[in-house]
Amino acid sequence: MNDDSLRLINRRQLFQAGAAIGVGAALSTLSQSVRAADVAPQEPAPGARLMDTANDSHSTVTIERRGDIVLFGLNRPAQQNKIDPTTSALLAQAYFQFEHDASLRAAVLFGHGDHFCQGIDVQAVAAAMGAGADLSVKSGSIDPWGKTRTRLSKPVVAAVHGNTWNVGHELFLACDIRVAAADTHFAQTENVHARMPASGGTIRFVREAGWAQAMRYLLTGDGWTAEDAQRMGTVQEVAPSAAAALQQALAMATKIAACAPLSIKNTLASAHMAIDEGEEKAFAQLSSQRTALYATDDFKEALKAEMEHRPPVYQGK
């Protein structure tokens, strides 16, 4: 969608577009919403590496490689990092490329500016849909909200600060480990605005915090603090500042990246299976998953490193 198309949609048309599609529908399809002309990801070639775009100030998602870790930064600070279709699509494409880049083992997700993410950019989504945006699922993408298969087989650590609201909070919940700055303000305000959380908040928040804890905030629209989130179990570490939160998340990702990649993947796969398909099926797969790891070069390297009293160097083989 070009700039001229956006200009043709005035405020009244935006309202009509939003009413016609329903903002709830916009939320539920946001991470899959983008015109083919905006982003057309391709299947990466074997050995392909995720491109570093940290110096591209125009991209709404920055990508910075640090060895075997990658940092994904939401980069719409003037809009409080609200998620628009382009940002959603770029992040989904970056997740896919991260998944297929064998040189990367863990990711950190953070937000540039004063806030991690203040939710959905309702006007941008309504404008895109009103202009006929293609909402079909694109190949070469992985949903960052984890609502659809395929999921990442590598971990993402979130570092949040400032306002972390609505779809931003749901993006945070979709990460595997979460660090929050002390100033983080969480909220799910959709019910106040005649919408509903539609990107995982009604599922993950309830699952991790407990029914009454989650409903206390989901049904009222009240906000809560980083300390509250840690008490409920949705935050694992609280840092004194945004910079400290990012450093803690990087330290966590560094520890993960030092572990055996195949072991990390099997651990995540087992946990996802227990949630998605039930504990019985997950238990039934444990023996074969463990046996497969014993046959890897990394397992042999672990034994050798222990004998030689040095840290192991894993190759993911």
Kindly state the helix (H) or strand (E) to which residue 178 belongs, with its residue range: strand 177-181
Residue 168 counted as domain residue: yes
Please give the pLDDT value at position 55.
66
The predicted pLDDT at position 14 comes to 32
pLDDT attached to residue 297: 95
Q: Are residues 143 and 208 in the same domain?
A: yes
pLDDT at 76: 97
Q: How many domains does the chain have?
A: 2
- How far, in Å, CA of 34 to CA of 82, rounded? 16
* pTM, to two decimals: 0.84
The CATH number of whichever domain residue 163 belongs to comes to: 3.90.226.10
- Distance in angstroms between the alpha carbons of the first and the last residue of the chain: 43
CATH number of the domain that residue 270 is part of = 1.10.12
Q: What range defines the domain where residue 273 resides?
A: 261-307
pLDDT at 47: 61
Residues 6+ apart with CB under 8 A from 302: 260, 312, 314
The residues of the chain scoring below 70 in pLDDT are: 1-48, 54-55, 57, 134-137
Helices (H) and strands (E) in the chain, counts: 13, 9
Q: What was the pLDDT predicted at 124?
A: 86
The tokens for 57 are 């100030």
Helix, strand or coil, per DSSP, at residue 113: coil
* pLDDT recorded at residue 123: 87
pLDDT at res. 125: 85
Q: Are residues 137 and 274 in the same domain?
A: no
